[in-house]
Amino acid sequence: MQAACVKTTYEHIEMNRQGVPLITGTTMKIIELVLVKSAYGWSAEELRFQFPNLTLGQIYSALAYYEDHQEELDKDIEQRLKFVNQLRKSSNPSPIVKRLKSKGLI
């Protein structure tokens, strides 16, 4: 069940209770779409092919929202990456990683 969201002035974009912009009717965060686009260099049309549950209108609206709020969203991405890196540093390697290292495979 999706939490109550607040509409924005961008068609297809809403804010969840934590103030994170999502594509309306989905659980996809704007930053998730932007990171996929950046990682693979995909166009909006390729994103549509890869995410058939999204319309081109939703994709273009998400990309427009990102362009208009890039500094704020980039800070959010940076904070999330720092958190992931902290978790990696504080956790022990999984048993499979230990075995692969002991065999010199990684």
Would you tell me the crossing angle of helices 30-40 and 56-68 to the nearest 10 degrees? 90
CB atoms within 10 A of CB 12: 21
Average pLDDT, the chain: 92
Residue 1 lies in a domain: no
Q: How many domains does the chain have?
A: 1
Residue 88 lies in a domain: yes
**Mind listing the pLDDT tens digit for each residue in 76-97?**
999 999 999 999 889 888 899 8
Residue 57 lies in a domain: yes
Positions in the chain whose pLDDT score sits under 50: 1
Residue 83 lies in a domain: yes
Q: Is 10 exposed, middle or buried (0-12, 13-18, 19+ CB in 10 A)?
A: middle
Residue 40 lies in a domain: yes
> How far, in Å, CA of 49 to CA of 43, rounded?
10
Residue 48 lies in a domain: yes
DSSP state of 28: -
Residue 50 belongs to domain spanning: 6-102
Query: CATH number for the domain including 22?
Result: 1.10.10.10
Alpha helices by DSSP H, listed for the chain, are 30-40, 44-50, 56-68, 70-90, 95-102
Residue 56 lies in a domain: yes
